[in-house]
Amino acid sequence: MSLLLKTSQRRTHAQQIIEFLKRGEGKCAVLTGAGVSTDSGVPDYRGPSGVYVRNKDYKPIRYQEFVSSHSIRQRYWARSYLGYPRILQARPNRTHFAIHELEKRSWVNGIVTQNVDGLHLGNNVLELHGSLHKVHCLSCHHTIPRAEFQRKLSLLNPILAEWAILNPDREAGDVASSVNPDGDLEITWDYSDFVYPACDACGVGMYKPSVVFFGENIPSTVRDESFSLIDTSNSVLAVGTSLQVYSAFRLIQRAKAQGKRVAVLSLGPTRADGVVDVKVDDGSSDVLEDVVEGLA
* Annotated binding-site members for Zn(2+): 137, 140, 199, 202
Sheet holding 207-211, edge to edge: 143-145, 130-137, 207-211
CA distances from 280 to 65, 87, 163, 229, 273 (A): 38, 28, 45, 23, 10
Q: Rounded to an integer, what distance in angstroms lies between the CA atom of residue 211 and that of residue 136?
A: 10
Which residues 6+ apart lie within 8 Å of 66 measured at CB?
72, 73, 76, 208, 213
Which residues 6+ apart lie within 8 Å of 262 measured at CB?
235, 236, 237, 238, 252, 255, 256, 272, 275, 276, 277, 278
Q: Which of 96, 100, 120, 129 does the annotation list as catalytic?
A: 129
SS3 assignment, position 80: helix
The burial class, CB within 10 Å (0-12 / 13-18 / 19+), for 209 is buried
Q: Rounded to an integer, what distance in angstroms lies between the CA atom of residue 252 and that of residue 136?
A: 30
Contact at 8 Å (CB) between 199 and 205? yes
Q: Is 129 annotated in the active site? A: yes
Q: Which amino acid, 266?
A: S
DSSP 176-233: EEEE-TTS-EEE----TT---PBPTTTSSPBEEEEE--BT-PPPHHHHHHHHHHHHT-
Binding site residue list? 137, 140, 199, 202
The burial class, CB within 10 Å (0-12 / 13-18 / 19+), for 217 is exposed
Q: Which amino acid, 243?
A: L
Residues annotated as part of the active site? 129
